[in-house]
Amino acid sequence: MKANTVTHAMTVDVEDYYQVAAFANVIKPAEWTQWPSRVEENTDKLLQLFDDAGIKITFFILGWVAERHPELVKRIHAQGHEIASHGYSHQLIYKQTPDVFRDETARSKQILEGIINTPVTGYRAASYSITRKSLWALDILAELGFTWDSSIFPTRHDNYGIPGSPETPYTIITSKGVRLTEFPLTTAKVLGQAIPAAGGGYFRQYPYALSRWLFERASLNQTKPQIFYLHPWEIDPDQPRIPNASWFSRFRHYTNLKRCLPRLERMIDDFQFGTISQSLGSVAISQTLTLQDLAGSPENIESTKLAMDSGRRDK
């Protein structure tokens, strides 16, 4: 049973099973239309779950999906959920040029706004691929009119992450002096290490009791809002299997698909969730970093944080 606690952010990255980075080496974007789409059916199941629970959440929708399933986008919006951009083609940002990223992100924003007739101001990168190699993307997001982002994972991983970056919402000052709010993905400190606890594959691979414990630990006993994510394909054990994928990619993608939906139901029962905007509205954001701060070493980020904390205490 959940008590009267902070509001965490529940998020869904709306993409299909054949679009994930784990299968990028065996399925190219030009081949996506050759695979049967299951994103609409799976997302509708999640919409029913959230409606039954009486909560509104944030959906990060891939532009490619929105273009082909505009009625799905309209249903999500009509039910009162928050809509944000997940880019257009689900490519890793640090493998794109700034011009390609700008064009694709602008296209995705335009598609979504054209469908719901409402400004789209939030963004999440494919596979959390805003890293120290692609901080320039934050400048472009600000140029395009985004005001908040949820792409930075404050952990170390082979494909993403900015180790040492803040673990709670903070402000980023871009190169041109524009402010963006960053809501980082959830990690819990265990023996000094930042352990991912935000959902997705971790949620399927960890036992539920461990996921719950890590999320609770990250929230400092329900005093700091955290963020949870998953994908519609993660509740779909009957999805087609991708041939020629590596054993590791298959492990990451297919592990415990049958258990994800029941676990999600328990998660919603155990914690209080809302949209990212609702969650951000419940906290006072006091930490500010520049792109130069984020580009530095974890030690430099930590020294910046300590200096800011000291300055606040001295006032």
pLDDT along the chain (315 residues), means of 10: 77 98 94 97 98 98 98 98 98 96 98 98 97 97 98 88 94 96 96 93 96 96 94 98 93 95 98 97 92 79 49 44
| Whether the Cβ atoms of residue 272 and residue 54 lie closer than 8 Å to each other | no
- Domain 8-314: homologous superfamily in CATH: Glycoside hydrolase/deacetylase (3.20.20.370)
Q: Provide the pLDDT for residue 235.
A: 98
- The domain ranges of the chain are 8-314
pTM score, whole prediction:
0.93
Q: Provide the pLDDT for residue 307.
A: 44
Q: Provide the pLDDT for residue 308.
A: 47
